[in-house]
Amino acid sequence: MIETRSQRPEADEHHSYYARYIALVPESEAVPALEAQMTELLPLLRSLTEAQGALRYEPGKWTVKQVLQHLIDGERVFAYRAMRAARGDQTPLAGFDENVYADQADAERRTIRSLVDELEALRRANVGLFGGLSDEELRRRTVANQDEISARALAFIIAGHARHHGILLRDRYLA
């Protein structure tokens, strides 16, 4: 029997806040979306110079390097939540404050290359994670930040979150 992959998540599989990220993913399956981003986003990120890494599109906004670190941190957190959901772990997970993470990460000491290399390695690992989950595992839910969320919703959130920040990098930082 050929296994079919879970399609897009239903609205009740995530907090409404995340619908904006999921809407940025036109693909019907998360793994192809995650794979496609490696060919659409990585070339842009690899073209960045160290000088561009320090850019802010306005005072008080994150630098390009902080955005890259945020993508890494967000992808790690969302993937961990997805693994917990897929494994049936119902222990409630706290939210995370991306601004505190950005303040504490010291992304400015890193090179653009090291950040992009880490993001690529993490994405490849997450393609493996989500690609190895059954439809049943992808539909399982956990509680994060006081809301139920499914593993498949988290896969789409990862893809949409990266696409959102790719758009911001192109339109606000590099325009």
Enumerate the domain spans of the chain: 12-173
Residue 10 corresponds to which amino acid? E
* pTM (two decimals): 0.95
Closest by Cα among 140, 38, 143, 122 to 79: 122
Convert the pLDDT of each residue in 21-79 to its tens digit: 999 999 999 999 999 999 999 999 999 999 999 999 999 999 999 999 999 999 999 99
Q: Mean pLDDT for the chain?
A: 95
pLDDT for 7: 87
pLDDT for 5: 61
For residue 154, give the 3-state DSSP assignment. helix
Backbone torsions φ then ψ of 80, nearest 5 degrees:
-65, -45
Backbone torsions φ then ψ of 141, nearest 5 degrees:
-125, 155
Answer whether residue 15 shows pLDDT above 70: yes
3-state DSSP percent of the chain in helix, strand and coil, to 5: 65, 5, 30
d(CA 148, CA 12): 8
Convert the pLDDT of each residue in 119-171 to its tens digit: 999 999 999 999 999 999 999 999 999 999 999 999 999 999 999 999 999 99
d(CA 164, CA 71): 10
- CATH number of the domain at 12-173, out of 3.90.25.10, 1.10.10.10, 3.30.930.10, 1.20.120.450? 1.20.120.450
pLDDT for 13: 97
